Structure 1
Amino acid sequence: MTPTRVINGVMPKINVYLPEELAEAVKAAELPVSAICQRALEQSVKRATAIRATVLGDLDTDDPTAGLTHFTERARTALKLAITAARGAGATTVGTEHLLHGLISEGSNLALRILRTEELDPALVQRTLDLPEPGAHDGPQASRFGADAANALELTAVEAMALGHNYVGCEHLLLGIVAEPDGAGGRVLRELGLDARSARKAVAAALSGYAHLRAQAPDPTAAVSAALTAALAPVVARIERLEQRLG
């Protein structure tokens, strides 16, 4: 275990505030709160450090996503496609519009199902981005992430941690893009009707449905995948109705 700095014989403290019901449940379960928090914070610091090293580093490497070991293979592929799109368009940096392009171009991830559940055709989103056609460009090619993309990637990790996930997938990348306020990618999504709140609900519903189907069928097939997609819309609709009743 990593050594802990001790000041005057006492380790530094960080206050953690919990809802009353959760605090009572933690006490009743007699959980080792300090150890759990230390472990969770260690993992979070590692993720944040890896993301910052990537977004601040030079993208001119064999694999610019190599440090993002907690990202899924599809999410890393989406980032590589984003970098390729930015360079093909002659952009000086990778922006959120390129992140969104890469996410859609990957072609087989949960984020695309979320878009369809929210009645957004990924092909329409792609067209709305209106990126320049790839071609030969004389100017310098993108060798780093822009401020908006860097912020979106940090938000991506935050969204994954908020959901209690030990990985970062394309669904979290979608949440990071739509939550980032300044980039073109989030602006396009919001203009087409997808906001951060509805996207989070759709992701939570999708993952909940996926876990249920996994429990029933340990080896998901194409039929299970289709069933998940069909199941998302009514689940999200029920959440909307409950929120309206609660006012």
Structure 2
Amino acid sequence: MFERFTRRARHAVVDAQEVARELGHREVGDDHLLLALLHAGGVAADVLIAAGADPARLREQVAHQRGPDADTDALRALGIDLDTVRRRAEEVFGPGALDRPGPRRRGRLRRRLLEEGPLSGHLPFTRPAKKALEESLRAALDLRHDYIGTEHLLLGLLRSPDARAARALAATGVDLDLARARTAVVQALRRSA
């Protein structure tokens, strides 16, 4: 299936891993794909921005959806800001000073994890992210396209209204249902042709 992806769509999928890493997440979700689509440019980014998507607000929402946890809330209630603690610890001890180490492993794999850190290398995709990729193929087939572009990835993401990407859009005021998104994508494709 990946061979059908356009160069821009492939970059978006790969960049989703970097987005997850930057946010300190250990797996790539459909919400990370959404953020990568916004940065990739192209039809999907155009449709999202025309619908009112703000990349910075969406990024904050994605970070917020996956955290903070109960411990963070408890510390915040005591007046302790973990972002400030993390920033100061990294100033003194270096980047990633407070990251949890991966599970204890032996031999070469353990050495590689220690050298590369817990968030380097390939991050696994969540089930909803994999589903969105599958749905992007269906979206391309529905439109009778023999390729999968960023526009198809967007349509694939929007086919799951309960997924994190859709919730992040809704939470930031972007009302982009599948029917309207499909219409916007088709219109944008016609304009670019």
* TM-score normalised by length of structure 2: 0.65
- Check conservation: 1:189, 1:195, Cα contact below 8 A: no
> Which digits, 9 at most, give the CA deviation of each residue in 1:180-238, with x for residues without a partner?
23421122224421111111110011112222xxxxxxxxxxxxxxxxxxxxxxxxxxx
> Counterparts of 1:29-108 in structure 2 under 5 Å?
50=1, 68-106=2-40, 108=41
> Counterparts of 1:1-247 in structure 2 under 5 Å?
50=1, 68-106=2-40, 108-130=41-63, 136=96, 137=99, 138-139=101-102, 140-141=118-119, 143-191=123-171, 192-211=174-193
- Check conservation: 2:35, 2:55, Cα contact below 8 A: no
Q: Which amino acid aligns with 2:131?
A: N
| Deviation (angstroms), 1:178 | 1.6
Larger of the two Rg values belongs to structure: 1
Deviates more, 1:92-101 or 1:118-127: 118-127
For residues 102 and 76 of structure 1, the distance between their equivalents in structure 2, rounded to whole angstroms, comes to 10
For residues 178 and 148 of structure 2, the distance between their equivalents in structure 1, rounded to whole angstroms, comes to 17
Gap runs ≥5 in structure 2: 68-82, 84-94, 103-117
Q: Report runs of 4+ in structure 1 exceeding 6 Å deviation.
A: none
Gap runs ≥5 in structure 1: 1-49, 51-67, 212-247
- Check conservation: 1:86, 1:94, Cα contact below 8 A: yes
For the aligned residue pairs, the C-alpha RMSD in angstroms reads 2.2
For the structure 1 residues 126 and 88, does the alpha-carbon distance in structure 2 shift closer, same or farther, using more than 3 Å as the test? closer
Instruction: With a CA cutoff of 8 Å and minimum separation of 6, indicate the structure with the bigger relative contact order.
Output: 2
For the structure 1 residues 176 and 145, does the alpha-carbon distance in structure 2 shift closer, same or farther, using more than 3 Å as the test? same
- Check conservation: 1:95, 1:183, Cα contact below 8 A: no
What secondary structure is seen at the aligned counterpart in 1 of 2:3? coil
| Deviation (angstroms), 1:71 | 0.5
What secondary structure is seen at the aligned counterpart in 1 of 2:123? coil
Q: What fraction of aligned residue pairs are identical, expressed as a percent?
A: 36
* TM-score normalised by length of structure 1: 0.52
For residues 88 and 188 of structure 1, the distance between their equivalents in structure 2, rounded to whole angstroms, comes to 18
What secondary structure is seen at the aligned counterpart in 2 of 1:92? coil
